[in-house]
Structure 1
Amino acid sequence: MDRAKLLGEEKISKLLLKFSIPAIVGMIVNALYNIVDRIFIGNFVDSLGLAGITIAFPIMIILMAFGMLVGIGATSLISIRLGEGKKKEAELILGNAMILLIVFSASISFIGLIFLDPILKLFGASPQVLPYSKAYLSIILLGAVFQTIGFGMNNFIRAEGNPKRAMSTMLIGAILNTILDPIFIIVFDMGIRGAALATIISQAVSAAWVLSYFFSGKSSLTVRKENLKLNFPIVKGILSIGSAPFAMQVAASAITTLLNHSLKTYGGDLAISAYGAINSFSTILLMPIFGINQGAQPIIGFNYGAKKYDRVKKALLLAITAATSFTIIGFIVTRIFPEQLVALFNSKDKELIKIGANGMKIFFAMLPLIGFQIVSSNYFQATGKPKQAMLLSLSRQVLMLIPAILILPRFFDLNGVWMAGPTADFFASLLTGAFILYEIKHLQEKHDENQA
């Protein structure tokens, strides 16, 4: 069955499974990059090393933000163009996106390495934690181009209907990172630098794997030399649609920085280390949601472009149901095993375990709502509606969360920092619910018009 017939006619539940399961596996495995680093550093360096990576994390989020800006923005356009039967335009978007990824990553590396110390201090590094953060991030920035190419262009593999290849990209990198971490950290006694080196080597291999796919003739879309020139209308379209996930990631970086400062004020460096453990599990719990998003995006985008609105509605509702199921399971696990989960990162530091377990129970209080909120925001992005997507994405990360971080700790100290997340999740979900109910009604009206 060719791609157009597959996306336009195959049963939605079967399609979502076909596209989402490889994406979910890939995203979870990809999340292991930072989590494995944190586990080895927490256990074989010390708790301050865990705080050091947590302080450096906002820059890594920014790198991912640019990968999403180009990767997801271009993927939405490619899916829609393929749905319209415009393959040449899809390849033009692909070529422009590749150049943008290289330009953005090189710029971030250059700026980040020049201003590394002041950036890390701005992000909340204390004099004790700064050496750890600097040692880790200086190496990560050298390999920034590998992360953005591997992560950004992997979206295009999925957009053209090859989710298994996209999954293998993430599997290769994460498995290699897991193998190299103990070798560099323990065997070669490189400490936190070893974790960073293992990460960039693994990302380089992933990037090479992605590029080999597009340059070997195995892909449906081809990277053509004549398309490797920036075309302003194409760039504008990519950045416009990709702006919502980009803004969400940049906001996440800013929020992490604000949280780090608040944690340092109300709980010290150990609270930052605890947040590093909590954030790791937050990443693991959210990766299936992002995987469902990635699986649903080409289905929604293609059928929206093909004016098959009944299939768009079915894909959206099924994705929301699947995402909510994952978040409910995650909620139950964090209720039952908080101490054991935190102890994975440092089983000897009892104070770290105590602070982290308490924080985890509070921080994930509204977890069951998050799947619905994220998938619904992604729907507007997949259908080429960046303004709505950005508003809903930022509602959780900025509009609700920043005031909560600034206000709640004044009344509840460290617990107030942990309470900020679930407070924002609750109110953002209410706002998203209003938008998505209207959109579902609008889809039904369009479907009825087409049937008339």
Structure 2
Amino acid sequence: MTNNPLGEEKIHKLIIEYSMPAMVGMMVNSLYNVVDRIFIGNSPDLGADGLAGITVAFPIMIILMSMGILFGLGGATLFSIKLGEGKRGEAEKALGNSFSMLLISGVLFMVFGQMLLRPLLSMFGASATVMPYAVEYMRMIFFGAVFQVGSMGMNNFIRADGEPKTAMITMFMGAGMNILLDAVFIFGLKMGMRGAALATVMAQGISFVWVMRYFISGKSKVKIKKENLMPELKIVKRVTALGIPGASLQMANSLLNAILNKNLFLYGGDIAVSAMGIINSLQMLLLLPVIGLRQGLQPIISFNFGAAKKDRVKSAAKQGVAIATVIVVISYSLTRAFPEALIAMFNRDPVLLEFGTKALRIWFFFMPVIGFQIIAASYFQAIGQSKTAMFLTLTRQVILLIPALLIFPRFWGLDGILRAAPFADIFSFMLTGAWFYFSVKNLGTSSLPRRHLS
């Protein structure tokens, strides 16, 4: 344990080594969704209606991604903590059980998704005009559910196994193939929404094969063993508890997008749904470096917490917050300086451009505080305080933003929908800031790590 660089190397060097590949990888991974929307929005056969279709389908895709986070990030957190404690056998069990749960959840999602597709899309706000586009896209996406859940989830273990660059290559490979196949299927073969979805599924399949090759070929330090594949209730419950904060955020995002889409259609029609789909893509693109930073910080904080090196835990958390704040301030500056150009990348419809530019400015008004909120909330997950992490993670999306989306439009109409985001951002920042400050301040006087693990 003492020879593991996670417990010995300088924190800023570890953050660069672990977070930079994750940040780049998450940016690249976001291209799955962003590139689909750019190609669809600029296709003469699809345009704004196609954008609305993929926007309505997006909440379902978020639920799918949450399964990868639940068993992938949750399992990798337990994996890192056990390695930090020197318990290699328990780390191997966490790996094997998590892998099985990823496959099981992917298969179940594929089966039930195909059965309930139209009712789900209707529940998430698909209008009669948009429904055919959304169905054509999601029908194909569901067939690749196992690939998406498996590759996304197991990539966390590659990073926790000490190979962040390999994890980054996995994302590069999948996103690169998606861009290439999107061009071929949408513009070359004129396959429309089905082509965009097929490109995504094939790219995710390639990523999944690459991930499994890492663990099967002998490159990994910790192996997937047959005797660890049978899920054990105790391990699955622990993995689930650690994965719930991140997965809950995704589930909350799904619910948020469903409510948002329905209200946008009610107050602004399909064009408002299309514009917000663009803003969601930009938000993903601009904030995913922070998510990558969070993923890179997780094994650093978890290992040192498990090894009872609390000064290193504090240092990693504080440096993570500082870096995240710099990232979001830069992103915020871009949205202030070039709002119309950012919207125009996806579609140049004059009405969409006008509303999208206005919406972008309002929705991102308090963006500079979001980076802190993400890192500070995930800090609690990394040290095993899953309930606190889940509460703080859901503060913005559930406790504040969803009620605001339901109440504000009654007073300000479409503008009220847009004002809900800055309201939730600033108050969730204040709450998380207070919680984080006292936790980090008192960390040095707390008990042994094992008592923190709920």
Interval of TM-score (by shorter of Structure 1 and Structure 2): over 0.9
Match of 1:450 in 2: none
Deviation at 1:434, TM superposition (A): 1.1
Match of 2:443 in 1: 443
* Partner SS state of residue 413, structure 2: helix
Aligned counterparts of 2:158 and 2:117: Cα–Cα separation in 1: 34
Match of 2:329 in 1: 328
What residue identity is the alignment partner of 1:117?
Answer: R
What residue identity is the alignment partner of 1:200?
Answer: V
Query: 5 Å matches for 1:239-258?
Result: 239-258=240-259
8 Å CA contact 1:140, 1:197 repeated in 2:
yes
- Alignment pair present for 1:13 and 2:12: yes
Match of 2:360 in 1: 360
Aligned counterparts of 2:138 and 2:414: Cα–Cα separation in 1: 27
8 Å CA contact 1:3, 1:161 repeated in 2:
no
Query: Greater CA deviation, 4-13 or 225-234?
Result: 4-13
Match of 2:350 in 1: 350
- Alignment pair present for 1:203 and 2:188: no
- Alignment pair present for 1:22 and 2:24: no
Classify 1:252/1:440 alpha carbon distance in 2 versus 1 (closer, same or farther; 3 Å). same
8 Å CA contact 2:2, 2:8 repeated in 1:
no
Aligned counterparts of 2:280 and 2:256: Cα–Cα separation in 1: 12
Aligned counterparts of 1:129 and 1:5: Cα–Cα separation in 2: 53
Aligned counterparts of 2:414 and 2:323: Cα–Cα separation in 1: 33
Match of 1:181 in 2: 182
RMSD: 1.2
Classify 1:346/1:87 alpha carbon distance in 2 versus 1 (closer, same or farther; 3 Å). same
Aligned counterparts of 1:203 and 1:239: Cα–Cα separation in 2: 24
Match of 2:168 in 1: 167
5+ residue gaps, structure 1: 448-452
List per-residue Cα deviations over 1:222-269 (Å, max 9, x = no partner). Answer: 011111101111001000111111111101000000000010011100
Classify 1:295/1:370 alpha carbon distance in 2 versus 1 (closer, same or farther; 3 Å). same
What residue identity is the alignment partner of 1:269?
Answer: D
Classify 1:159/1:3 alpha carbon distance in 2 versus 1 (closer, same or farther; 3 Å). farther
Deviation at 1:66, TM superposition (A): 0.8
Aligned counterparts of 2:2 and 2:47: Cα–Cα separation in 1: 50
Deviation at 1:9, TM superposition (A): 1.0
| Structure 1 runs of 4+ with >2 Å offset | 2-5, 444-447
Deviation at 1:444, TM superposition (A): 3.3
Match of 1:135 in 2: 136
Query: 5 Å matches for 1:114-125?
Result: 114-125=115-126
Query: 5 Å matches for 1:29-428?
Result: 29-44=28-43, 45-347=46-348, 349-428=349-428
> When the two structures are superposed, what TM-score results if normalisation uses the length of structure 1?
0.97
Deviation at 1:422, TM superposition (A): 1.3
Aligned counterparts of 2:334 and 2:2: Cα–Cα separation in 1: 38
8 Å CA contact 2:19, 2:296 repeated in 1:
yes
List per-residue Cα deviations over 1:303-337 (Å, max 9, x = no partner). Answer: 00000000000000000000010100111100111
Match of 2:450 in 1: none
Percent identity between matched residues is 50
* Partner SS state of residue 219, structure 1: coil
Deviation at 1:5, TM superposition (A): 2.9
Classify 1:47/1:428 alpha carbon distance in 2 versus 1 (closer, same or farther; 3 Å). same
What residue identity is the alignment partner of 2:19?
Answer: S
Deviation at 1:3, TM superposition (A): 8.5
List per-residue Cα deviations over 1:169-222 (Å, max 9, x = no partner). Answer: 100000010111010001101011110000000000000000000001000010
8 Å CA contact 1:309, 1:446 repeated in 2:
no
What residue identity is the alignment partner of 1:430?
Answer: M
What residue identity is the alignment partner of 1:377?
Answer: A
List per-residue Cα deviations over 1:263-282 (Å, max 9, x = no partner). Answer: 00111000000011100010
5+ residue gaps, structure 2: 448-454
Aligned counterparts of 2:228 and 2:203: Cα–Cα separation in 1: 28
What residue identity is the alignment partner of 1:80?
Answer: I
8 Å CA contact 1:4, 1:83 repeated in 2:
no
Query: Greater CA deviation, 409-418 or 22-31?
Result: 409-418
What residue identity is the alignment partner of 1:33?
Answer: Y
* Partner SS state of residue 127, structure 1: coil
List per-residue Cα deviations over 1:132-152 (Å, max 9, x = no partner). Answer: 000000000010000000000
Aligned counterparts of 2:2 and 2:20: Cα–Cα separation in 1: 18
8 Å CA contact 1:26, 1:167 repeated in 2:
yes
Aligned counterparts of 1:311 and 1:106: Cα–Cα separation in 2: 40
Aligned counterparts of 2:2 and 2:197: Cα–Cα separation in 1: 39
